[in-house]
Amino acid sequence: MSTTSNLIPRQSTTLIAAAVASILLAACVSAPVKPPGAAEARNKLTVLQSDPQLSTRAPAAIKQAELAVRAAEEPQPDPEIAKFRVYVADRSVDIATAQAQTSLAEDQRKALMQRGDQARLDARTREADAANSQLVNAKAVIAEQKGQADVARTEADAARLSAADLQRQLDELHAKPTDRGMVLTLGDTLFTSGKSDLKVGSTVNLDRLVAFLSSYPNRDVLIEGYTDSIGSDEYNVDLSQRRADSVKSYLMHQGINSQRLSATGRGKSDPVADNASADGRQQNRRVNVTIANAPVASR
């Protein structure tokens, strides 16, 4: 019995041995060695799952990747199987990432297209505005031109009308066209023989002349008095002058500007008929009113 100087009892030794063994076993169970590469796959998956822009996309692919990574993380005595599972896990994570990125790109595309559409719309709006203002300008120009055209047309119409009117009025005056203008011959019926006063009620032709001259204020008038050959030249010139003046004064009284009127006595000159007969002399006693041609066409 003295030989057994061992301080530790035999039972205790057995217990220690059992404890050590159980610790070793527990170490094996609680810290199994993960197949190489599984951690990398897990890291990639964690990156994907923690990306706020990607984690909610491609949920099916992400779930499948999660399962594949878990399978790869399981301890596997067969290195070939372990390698295979890591491979599948790695590719599964890559597929999930690619699908999530694709989905994100498709969403971003909508925004890009909207931005493009908006830009195009802006461009079109701006072009439309520009076109519109050009249109407004063009319309203004057209309106102006149209206005001018209208004025021109009105003037042309007026000119045409006035030409026709003039002709009609001249016709009424029985005026004859000459080089100097239209010549209107007022017969001696205007005057009592030897007198220069206009006869009452003989002014119908003169009133037409007044109307004409009022309508055409740019026409000047030359009034020339003529007599027959009876009597002295001096007397005849004087009489013819007074008769011309009488017509001029009548026209002035009717509102025709005196500056447009000139009156001359021509006496017995320029007879239009033979003074030998009474009929011829009557034709020679006359007042010619020459309406000058328009100075220059009023264009």
Partner 1 sequence: MHNSTFGDSSPAVRAVAWLSGILVLSACASTPPAPTESLVAARSAISNAEKSEAGRYAAPEVGEARDKLAAANTAVTQKDMTGAQRLADESRIEADLASAKTAQVKADSVNAQLQHDNDSLVDELQRKSGSQP
Residues with Cβ within 8 Å of residue 286, at least 6 apart in sequence? 185, 186, 187, 188, 225, 226, 272
Site track 34-73 with partner 1 (rule: CB under 8 A), x = hit: ---------------------------x------------
Comparison of 82 and 247: residue with beta carbon closer to partner 1: 82
Q: Does 112 bind partner 1 (CB under 8 A)?
A: yes
Distance CA 77, CA 94 (A): 26
Residue 77 in the binding site for partner 1 (CB under 8 A):
no
Tokens of 77: 């005595």
* Cβ contact 239:287 at 8 Å: no
| Cβ atoms 263, 201 nearer than 8 A | no
Nearer to partner 1, 122 or 155 (CB): 122
* Amino acid in the structure at residue 161: L
92 vs 185, beta carbon nearer partner 1: 92
The least distance separating partner 1 from the CB of residue 144, rounded to whole angstroms, comes to 22
Among 18, 67, 130, 140, binds partner 1 (CB under 8 A): 130
Question: With binding defined as CB under 8 A, does residue 80 bind partner 1?
Answer: yes
Instruction: Give, for 139, the enclosing helix (H) or strand (E).
Output: helix 79-172
Which one of 99, 169, 236, 283 is in contact with partner 1 (CB under 8 A)?
Answer: 99
Which residues touch 217 (CB under 8 Å, ≥6 apart)? 257, 260
Name the residue among 181, 182, 180 with its Cα closest to residue 172: 182
Residue at token pair 């009424």 = 172
Nearest Cα to Cα of residue 183 among 288, 295, 294 = 288
For 82, the token pair is: 């372990």
C-beta of 94 vs 165, nearer to partner 1? 94
Name the residue nearer to partner 1 (CB basis): 26 or 113: 113
Candidate residues 37, 40, 95, 238; the one interacting with partner 1 per rule CB under 8 A: 95
C-beta of 140: minimal distance to partner 1 in Å? 18
Contact range with partner 1 by CB under 8 A, out of 4-12, 121-129, 193-201, 236-244:
121-129
Task: Decide: 191 and 199 in contact? Cβ < 8 Å.
Answer: yes
Query: For binding to partner 1 (CB under 8 A), which residues are involved?
Result: 61, 80-81, 84, 87-88, 91-92, 94-95, 98-99, 101-102, 105-106, 108-109, 112-113, 115-116, 119-120, 122-123, 126, 130
